[in-house]
Amino acid sequence: MLHSSGGRPPNPRGLLIAEVAQATQRLADAGVPSPRFDAEELAAYVHDVKRGELHLVPDSDFDARYWEAVSRREAREPLQHITGRAFFRYLELQVGPGVFVPRPETESVAGWAIEAVRAMDVAEPLIVDLCTGSGAIALALAQEVPRSRVHAVELDEGAYGWAVKNVEGSRVTLHHGDALTALPELDGQVDLVVSNPPYIPLTEWEYVAPEARDHDPQLALFSGEDGLSTIRGLERTAHRLLRPGGLVVIEHADTQGGQVPWIFTEDRGWADAADHPDLNNRPRFATARREVP
């Protein structure tokens, strides 16, 4: 039977999909690394649906604010700043200007830490997340290791404010302070120390993606001429906090594979220092065990 509108269904659906295709091209031309995903994610956010439901949005419900969002992303404003949310493992986090946006690569770091803690013969493992940023790693550990006691430390005022929002109602204990001097009351007691610290060399500023360079806090990105200054400091912090046999897990740049394990040497009280790949098989994080006397 024909519809009264000349054969067209009463709520045609296709306009949003066509606009997403145009947006994808615009974002690709602007150099956005994942143009189709971002175009769809922005459409889902503006229209309050899931990405898989975009084809169900009636043409009459198309929201012109979509193109405002696309223009912001075209200017390389981070997708997560526009939507106000970032997804990390099983979490949805609140993010925005002033906090480092968690990256997919860091999920490998959190995953290794979670498996390592689960394998420990400890009833209520004590975990410390240094340079927590949004709280992503700390919250993932608290969620996926239900009996864990998790402390998170953040120095930057803006990032700390976002972490406060994210850890509300969780079992994470948040501390505003310097990761290098944090939590002396836990010295020698911690089962696992984890960190995604700043690790970009100052000399590589111009090569950093605009989403990070122009929007993430500088404190979360850069660390000395070779990028390893903070990691060297965290090596001492981790050794101070960990019990004998405890583990440290530290993210680093894929170009620093092989360098970071050499910071965790036997003569500094470490064993089993090793590098590990991310999901793209690039060296992404180093682990070590505090030696047992």
User: For each of the chain's 293 residues, which pLDDT tens digit applies?
Assistant: 334 344 445 556 689 999 999 999 999 999 999 999 999 999 999 999 999 999 999 999 999 999 999 999 999 999 999 999 999 999 999 999 888 889 888 999 999 999 999 999 999 999 999 999 999 999 999 999 999 999 999 999 999 999 999 999 999 999 999 999 999 999 999 999 999 998 766 666 555 566 666 656 666 555 556 778 889 999 999 999 999 999 999 999 887 888 899 999 999 999 999 999 988 888 999 999 999 88
Per the annotation, does 197 bind a ligand? yes
Q: What is the pTM of this model?
A: 0.85
Q: How many CB atoms lie within 10 A of CB 159?
A: 24
144-148 — which CB contacts under 8 Å span 24+ positions? 144/89, 144/90, 144/114, 145/114, 145/117, 145/118, 147/123, 148/117, 148/124
Number of neighbours of residue 25 by Cβ within 10 angstroms: 12
Residue type, 263: I
**Euclidean distance between CA atoms 80 and 71, whole angstroms:** 14
Any binding-site annotation on 11? no
Tell me the backbone φ, ψ of residue 93, rounded to 5 degrees: -110, 150
198 marked among binding-site residues:
yes
- CB count within 10 Å of CB 62 equals 17
Q: Is residue 119 left, alpha or beta, with left meaning phi > 0 and alpha meaning psi from -120 to 50?
A: alpha
Q: Which tokens is 289 given?
A: 């065990």
